[in-house]
Amino acid sequence: MDWVLMPGAAVLPALAVCGLFALCGVWFRRSVAAGETLRASTWPAVLLGLLSLAMALHAFPWLPRWQILAPVQLSEGAPPFTLSLSLDKALAGWGLMWWACRRCGSLRDVRRMLPSLLAGACATVFVVMGLAWLSHIVRWDPKWPAQAGVFLLVNLLVTCVAEEAFFRGLLQERLTQLWAMRPRALSCGLPVFLSACLFGLAHLGGGVRYALLATVAGLGYGLVYARTRRIEAAILTHFAVNTAHFLLFTYPRLA
């Protein structure tokens, strides 16, 4: 679907959804910037989260979605794989990144983040892909297909940004703030665990084993975020896992 070809009946609702999302984002950002209490900023956070989740799940049919790659088999024994670019998911991810997430504000922040990012990303890739291999979800299959560049770009800028901005940048961060005065095991560990469990549930469509593996991956992303409190660290850890999966193992999985 193209914006130029969309009928007016579809353009107007699409613009309304985008406008509402922007209003919720500005409301949330201003409530935080004004130093309002956590309770006072709960409503804009909830509305922003629900709307971004609905957009990421393609609940609004008026927002366009483009198929970038036709069905193609990337690995022997794997089902055909397609790649789509969804405007709603991209807007949700980048909107949350801008309005709700803690980001690196300087090179000093980047330098402080790097050690935890590198260690966490390596550990998460090793554990997640090791478990995927042991559970026969994938097998060793190094490759560089012609579709690699497009896939990696869309995966980083849409999939990883949208999922980490929601599950870590908004959900885990709000839970961490909510329980900030509790013992560290609760204020740090429980938000990581809960966001990882919800991340796993979001992948239940791929089956129980896949959802459990996504939960383990979510624990890795959450721990990296808890250590750095910077959304870029969670996004890049997620991207490292997805890149290793795509380039080194069966993709998307064994049939």
DSSP structural state of residue 62: T
In a domain, 89, yes or no: yes
In a domain, 75, yes or no: yes
**DSSP string covering 214-247:** HHHHHHHHHHHHHHH--HHHHHHHHHHHHHHHHH
pLDDT by residue (tens digit) across 232-242? 999 999 999 99
In a domain, 17, yes or no: no
Give the global pTM: 0.93
pLDDT at 182 over 90: no
Contact 235, 164 (CB under 8 A): yes
Mean pLDDT of the chain: 92
- In angstroms, the CA 201 to CA 65 distance is 24
- pLDDT-derived band of residue 6, with 50, 70 and 90 as boundaries? low
User: Domain tally for the chain?
Assistant: 1
**DSSP string covering 191-202:** HHHHHHHHHHHH
Q: What is the extent of the structural domain holding 103? A: 66-248
Arithmetic mean of pLDDT, 135-157: 97
In a domain, 187, yes or no: yes
Per cent of the chain over pLDDT 70 is 96
pLDDT by residue (tens digit) across 159-179? 999 999 999 999 999 999 988
- In angstroms, the CA 104 to CA 112 distance is 10
pLDDT by residue (tens digit) across 9-56? 677 888 899 999 999 999 999 988 877 777 778 889 999 999 999 999
For residue 56, give the nearest of 160, 197, 155, 163 by alpha carbon: 163
Beta bridge partners of 134: none
Please give the structure tokens belonging to residue 19.
């406008």
The b/e string for 179-214 (b: 16+ C-beta within 10 A; e otherwise) is beeeeeeebbebbbbbbbeebbebbeeeeeebbebb
In a domain, 35, yes or no: no
In a domain, 34, yes or no: no
In a domain, 121, yes or no: yes
For residue 78, give every residue at least 6 positions away whose Cβ sits within 8 Å of its Cβ, in sequence order, or none. 250, 251, 252, 253, 254, 255
In a domain, 42, yes or no: no
**235 exposed, middle or buried (CB, 10 Å; 0-12, 13-18, 19+)?**
buried
